[in-house]
Amino acid sequence: MSRNTKLFYLLTSMSLLASCGGGPTRGEKPRYYEAAVVKQKDLGPGHFKALPTVLDERIGSRPLKSEDPSGALTAVTVAQLSGASRQALYLAFEAVDPDFLEVDLRIRLADDTRVPVTVRRGEKSGLIVREGKAGAAFVHGTTAAVVERHGIGRLIDDGSPWNPRALEVLDLALSSLSAPERAVLRGIPFTRKTRGDDAQHGALYVQSDCAASIFVFDVAFRADQDQFVGTPEAPWPTSTRTFLHEVGHAIHERPGRDGICKLMGDQRKHNARTTQLRARIEAFNRGSRKGADQGAEKAAIEVERDAVEKSLKAFEQNHKEVERLQKKGPILSSYANALGQSSPPTRYAETSIKESFAESFSLYRADPEALRRLLPAVFAYFERGEHTTGL
């Protein structure tokens, strides 16, 4: 590296609906947990009346099953499903990635009541529907003393407020973390802003030198009306995964961040030592020492100069190691081993191994059973706590 006095590093990430899924190996057709925003249009009674015929044609001979809260499956026909479950199936065909493996929807009924329904693929390309209670409310977090209870940095209003809704989602996300995961967030401020540089960004983890911040934008909450995460019996706002996605970035970046913090401290010490040596050399050149003292001082200066040069070489070597940690540190390496040849969890996760980790982590904390179904080896990796080893 050049001998700069300032190091700078920036990580950006986006997630509107944190997501995870996909279990096929790379030689098979990939399947994904649905992460895109699914908007529901105003539909008349004619649409719902036609659904049985439309769905029968779309489903054909594929198995169709209903799942109860215990996980028990029952073979059903489209005619036996409720209007909400039919509409969820319709959206799964019409408005969702055709390669979806699982999607969680809050179906809007004619009276504007919302019904949480999960649709996922089963064996032999079959479909499984699991429906919650009409009007089921989101699981709520607590708005009081979020900073004190979780040990995070300040909550900052910068164009948008930390209103009760945002605080509840933040608390819900933080409450799902283990102690080592939460410790990574110690001192990191969370800032609410109207929007980011990219209007599609729901949240952003930013690291500059040794400091880190998480920004949350208004768009993070836009899909909560139509989608959820978790089970239909106890749905969480899908924005919870947006928060958890950024926490995932903070976790896998921690080794590199620690390296930067140490490197900056070493740099300050080296610069101070260099300044002292320079002053010592200037004083020597002015002839401030005479006779035997002059010889002793010259020898001491040469020893110190050699030590400073060794310190600089060590610093440069450490900087290379920090750069390696920033690109792919031990956490991402262990995650990649767990993922193996499986497809990444979402379409967005194909962007990089960093996004794949953040997407998987967010689903692990928001809907662990979904991750277990989609990527069992990755679920086991998080269960063993390998992602926090050494933090």
Give the CB-side neighbour count of residue 72, counting CA atoms within 13 A: 3
d(CA 20, CA 366): 10
Q: Are 48 and 60 in contact (CB under 8 A)?
A: no
Measuring CA to CA, which residue among 10, 360, 12, 9 is closest to residue 205?
12
- Tens of each residue's pLDDT in the chain, 391 residues: 212 223 322 222 223 333 333 344 444 556 778 777 888 877 778 888 899 999 999 999 999 999 999 999 999 999 999 999 999 999 988 877 777 789 999 999 888 899 999 999 987 779 999 999 998 999 989 889 999 999 999 999 999 999 999 999 999 999 999 999 999 999 999 999 999 988 888 999 999 888 999 999 999 999 999 999 999 999 999 999 999 999 999 999 998 888 788 877 778 887 888 888 898 888 888 876 666 677 888 888 888 888 888 877 877 777 777 777 777 889 999 999 999 999 888 888 889 999 999 999 999 999 999 999 989 999 999 999 999 997 8
Domain ranges of the chain: 38-131
Tokens 């794949």 locate to 356
Say if residue 218 is exposed, middle or buried (CB neighbours under 10 Å; 0-12, 13-18, 19+): middle
Residues 59 and 122 sit within 8 Å (Cβ to Cβ): no
Residue 231: its pLDDT value, please? 96
Q: Exposed, middle or buried by CB within 10 Å (0-12, 13-18, 19+), for 143? A: middle
